[in-house]
Structure 1
């Protein structure tokens, strides 16, 4: 094993779905123009570490010694780190029961395409659909439809929106297009 098990302050609730208080925290983050995903992780009891992973690894969510930790590649850009944190929070909320079922890995490691990487890091319980679910929740956390509509209605350009929400222009463009919103200034 890689030995990347960092301690957090959140005891592992085995086989437990997200509670109402956890979902309320995510909804509050969705409403903010700049979703503070680091604060959200802290409020959920997750400890964030920034190791220098190889360039292929974006991040991970691990469980060890009774605690959850979230790792994000220190070499990634700030916006990429924000998305990775949101993605790993989504795994925690949606898939922690599945993550704990694999006693060999006790975590999920994601490459830069948010798919599980090499076989040595593979959690057999996390499938492509689970990665897609985590990605969609991360997108909604950082770029909720309500938020994006509000910013477009305020007449902001795509560049202003990307800066305001802390996401790349490319990701912002994809989200605006998926919502059928105008690409002002692009």
Structure 2
């Protein structure tokens, strides 16, 4: 397994990130994250692309682009796996459960935002983590 280089770069509108073989370092991979996205979105995108590296390296081929909904040429199941691992990396079960216990005094509609702030992720990412559609 090679290494991974991560860079923030301008990507086409609607593309959050991509992973492909690194043209500057044969045998390694390059993750590009859209430099115009928020820092929170970039964090999840990097984790998502790293998940593709860990889980689907044999399917990266010439590269995988993920749009803003984290869809790519890979199957929905593969994208769901990458989302799940990204969520688990950034928001581990044990810590999320500890913060949920601390948030019990909040209104239900405020808990997602509270947890997203604590883990420095978007509310959309926290909803993925919590299994909320």
TM-score normalised to the size of structure 2?
Answer: 0.80
Q: CA RMSD in A?
A: 2.1
Aligned counterpart, 2:54: 93
Aligned counterpart, 1:107: 63
Unaligned 5+ segments in structure 2 are none
Structure having the higher strand fraction is 2
Range moving further from structure 2, 157-166 or 91-100: 157-166
| Equivalent of 2:125 in 163, 166, 171 | 171
| Equivalent of 2:78 in 130, 152, 157 | 130
Structure 2 SS opposite 1:113: coil
Runs of 4+ in 1 over 3 A off after TM superposition: 173-176
Unaligned 5+ segments in structure 1 are 1-9, 12-44, 101-105, 117-121, 180-186
Task: Tell me if structure 1 keeps the 8 A contact 2:87–2:128.
Answer: no
Structure 2 SS opposite 1:50: strand
Higher Cα Rg, which structure: 1
Instruction: Tell me how far apart the structure 1 counterparts of residues 83 and 125 of structure 2 sit (CA, whole Å).
Output: 12
Distance 1:174 1:62, change over 3 A: closer
Counterparts of residues 1-186 of structure 1 (less than 5 Å): 11=2, 45-64=3-22, 65-100=26-61, 106-116=62-72, 122=73, 126-155=74-103, 158=111, 159-173=113-127, 175-176=129-130, 178=131
Deviation at 1:131, TM superposition (A): 1.1
Q: In the comparison of the two structures, how many residue pairs are matched? A: 123
Distance 1:78 1:99, change over 3 A: same
Deviation at 1:162, TM superposition (A): 1.6
Distance 1:167 1:52, change over 3 A: same
